[in-house]
Amino acid sequence: MITTVHNTPDGEPVLRVRGLTAVLDLPTGPATALHELDFDIGAGEILGVVGESGSGKSLTSLAVMRMLPDAARVTAGQILLHGEDLLTKSEKDMRRLRGRHLGIVFQDPLAYLHPLKRVGAQLRESLTVHAATRAQAATRALELLKLVGIPDAEQRIDDYPHQFSGGMRQRVMIAMAVAHNPSLLIADEPTTALDVTIQAEILRVLVRLRDELGTAVMLITHDIGVVEDTCDRVLVMYAGRIAEQAGTGTLLKSPRHPYTRELLRSVPHLNTPLLDRLPAIPGQPPDPRNRPAGCPFHDRCPDVRDRCTREMPPLERVDADPGHSVACWVAPDTPVQIAAPAGGERRTGRPETEVILSVEDVRVWYTSRRWPWSTEVVPAVDGVTFQARQGTAVGLVGESGCGKSTLAKAILGLQPVTSGRLTVAGREWSGADSHQRAALRRTVQMVFQDPYASLNPRMTVGDSIAEPLRNYHLAGRSQLAGAVRELLDQVGLPARYADSYPYQLSGGQRQRVGIARALAVSPKLIVADEPVSALDVSVQAQVINLFDDLRDRTGVGYVFITHDLAVARHMCDDILVMYAGRIVESGPASAIFANPSHPYTRTLLASAPGSGLTKDTGLKPASGTRPTGGCRFRDRCPVGPAANPQRTVCAERDPALDAVGPRHHAACHFAERDDR
Partner 1 sequence: MAYYLRRLLGVLATLLVVSLLVFSLLQLAPGDPATVVAGPDATPEQIAAVRANLGLDAPFLSRYGGWLGDALRGDLGTSYTLGQPVTDLIGQRLGSTLQLVIAAMLLMGVLSAAAGVVLATGRNGAVRAAVDYLTTLALSVPPFVSSIILIFAFAVIWQVLPSGGEASITADPGGALRFLVLPALALALPNAAVLARLLATDMRRSLQEEYVLTARAKGASRRRIVWRHALPASLNLYIVQLGINFGNLIGGALVVEAIFARAGIGGLLVDAVTTRDYPTAQAVLLLTVAAAILAQMVSEMVIARVDPRVKARAAR
Residues binding partner 1 (CB under 8 A): 65, 67, 95-100, 102-104, 106, 108, 111-117, 125-126, 129-130, 160, 162-163, 173, 176-177, 368, 370-371
Which lies closer to partner 1 via its Cβ, residue 67 or residue 293? Answer: 67
Residues 559 and 356: their CA atoms lie apart, in Å, by: 11
Sheet (strand 15-26) strand order = 29-41, 15-26, 72-81, 84-85
Given a contact cutoff of 8 angstroms between Cβ atoms, the answer to whether 661 and 587 are in contact is: yes
Given a contact cutoff of 8 angstroms between Cβ atoms, the answer to whether 633 and 579 are in contact is: yes
* Closest CB 226 distance from partner 1, rounded Å: 21
* Closest CB 261 distance from partner 1, rounded Å: 35
Which lies closer to partner 1 via its Cβ, residue 371 or residue 503? Answer: 371
Identify any residues that bridge with 397 across adjacent strands, giving them in sequence order: 577
Residues 514 and 511: their CA atoms lie apart, in Å, by: 5
- Per residue, what are the HEC states of 422-469? EEECCEECCCCCHHHHHHHHHHEEEECCCCCCCCCCCCCHHHHHHHHH
Which lies closer to partner 1 via its Cβ, residue 6 or residue 291? Answer: 6
* Closest CB 174 distance from partner 1, rounded Å: 12
Which lies closer to partner 1 via its Cβ, residue 126 or residue 358? Answer: 126
Residues 445 and 521: their CA atoms lie apart, in Å, by: 8
Identify any residues that bridge with 345 across adjacent strands, giving them in sequence order: 275
Residues 56 and 355: their CA atoms lie apart, in Å, by: 47
Which lies closer to partner 1 via its Cβ, residue 115 or residue 624? Answer: 115
Which lies closer to partner 1 via its Cβ, residue 162 or residue 350? Answer: 162
Q: Which helix (H) or strand (E) holds 525?
A: strand 525-529
The separation between the first and the last C-alpha atoms of the chain, rounded to the nearest angstrom, is 56
* Closest CB 31 distance from partner 1, rounded Å: 22
Residues 400 and 166: their CA atoms lie apart, in Å, by: 10
* Closest CB 66 distance from partner 1, rounded Å: 10
Residues 81 and 87: their CA atoms lie apart, in Å, by: 10
Which lies closer to partner 1 via its Cβ, residue 97 or residue 539? Answer: 97
Residues 621 and 638: their CA atoms lie apart, in Å, by: 11
Which lies closer to partner 1 via its Cβ, residue 130 or residue 442? Answer: 130
* Closest CB 624 distance from partner 1, rounded Å: 13
Residues 581 and 385: their CA atoms lie apart, in Å, by: 11
Residues 462 and 517: their CA atoms lie apart, in Å, by: 9
Which lies closer to partner 1 via its Cβ, residue 66 or residue 570? Answer: 66
Exposed/middle/buried for 99, CB within 10 Å: 0-12, 13-18, 19+?
A: buried
Tell me 218's DSSP state. Answer: E
Instruction: Tell me the Cα Rg of the chain.
Output: 26
Given a contact cutoff of 8 angstroms between Cβ atoms, the answer to whether 550 and 518 are in contact is: no
* Closest CB 483 distance from partner 1, rounded Å: 42
Residues 442 and 432: their CA atoms lie apart, in Å, by: 14
* Closest CB 53 distance from partner 1, rounded Å: 17
Closest CA to 119 of 138, 97, 92: 138
Q: Phi first, then psi: give them for residue 234, nearest 5 degrees.
A: -130, 140
Coarse DSSP helix, strand, coil percentages of the chain, rounded to the nearest 5 percent: 35, 25, 45
> Which residues neighbour 253 within 8 Å (Cβ) at sequence distance 6 or greater?
337, 338
Which lies closer to partner 1 via its Cβ, residue 10 or residue 70? Answer: 70
Exposed/middle/buried for 555, CB within 10 Å: 0-12, 13-18, 19+?
A: middle
Which lies closer to partner 1 via its Cβ, residue 66 or residue 602? Answer: 66
* Closest CB 103 distance from partner 1, rounded Å: 7
* Closest CB 376 distance from partner 1, rounded Å: 9
* Closest CB 609 distance from partner 1, rounded Å: 24
Residues 178 and 169: their CA atoms lie apart, in Å, by: 14
Residues 278 and 262: their CA atoms lie apart, in Å, by: 11
* Closest CB 162 distance from partner 1, rounded Å: 5
* Closest CB 22 distance from partner 1, rounded Å: 17
Residues 635 and 619: their CA atoms lie apart, in Å, by: 9
* Closest CB 496 distance from partner 1, rounded Å: 35
Which lies closer to partner 1 via its Cβ, residue 96 or residue 421? Answer: 96
Which lies closer to partner 1 via its Cβ, residue 126 or residue 607? Answer: 126
Which lies closer to partner 1 via its Cβ, residue 108 or residue 450? Answer: 108
404, amino acid identity: K
